[in-house]
Amino acid sequence: MQSIQALMNNLERSPQWQASSGLRQVLAIWPQLVGAAVAQHSQPTKIYREVLQVSVSSAAWAQTLTFERTRIRQKLHHKLPLLATKIRDLRFASAEWRRLTQRSQPLAVNSLTHHPSWAALNPDLSPLPPATAHDAFQKWAERKQAQLANQSQCPCCHSPCPSQELQRWGVCAICQAHQWHTLQSQDRQEAKHKKNI
């Protein structure tokens, strides 16, 4: 078995992670490059053949930003000089905007809070995405530790579990599923026994 650190190092060296690294960096500073108002109508989607592809909300935005692409590229190279050789131009198109915005719509919190396994977490206020796989793992581990610290303990297995599960079933979801399985097995045994009599 490899250590988590070795796995993270392998992930960071993978071509897929390397390819998306530049896009993650651009996404992190995009509002600074174009301004908050323009950032609401545009989002970089990929870097393909040294061209940063940007999805925009309308053809008018595509035209406006096309006129500004030289200035935006210069600001980008100034902020992220290592990407100067990876991004030589920008292209703006509105074709993907609807799909992109629908996919990125956050789940309604109200729909999650009714689920018994929901455990409210403090949102991560960091505006920057993790730069490395190790940073992403660290952020996830910190969130998981915060979640576990705020959870109750299952009286059956003594594992941490959301208090909503205890309120609903009196035990954690795993113990409840085990109890249901046991009851179903007993019911099947009784039905089989009655059938044989």
Do 119 and 151 form a contact (C-beta atoms < 8 A)? yes
pLDDT (0 to 100) of residue 172:
85
Q: Which residue has the higher pLDDT, 175 or 115?
A: 175
pLDDT at 171 over 50: yes
Residue type, 85: T
Q: Which two tokens stand for residue 129?
A: 């995405």
> Any residues with CB less than 8 A from the CB of 39 and at least 6 apart, and which?
30, 31
pLDDT (0 to 100) of residue 183:
84
Residues 82-133 have pLDDT tens digits of 888 888 999 999 888 888 776 555 444 444 444 444 444 444 445 556 777 7
Q: Which residue has the higher pLDDT, 73 or 188?
A: 73
pLDDT at 159 over 90: no
Its CATH class, for the domain covering 4-103, is: alpha beta
Provide the whole-model pTM.
0.47
Domains of the chain by residue range: 4-103, 153-196
Among candidates 22, 124, 122, 119, which has minimal Cα distance to 76?
22
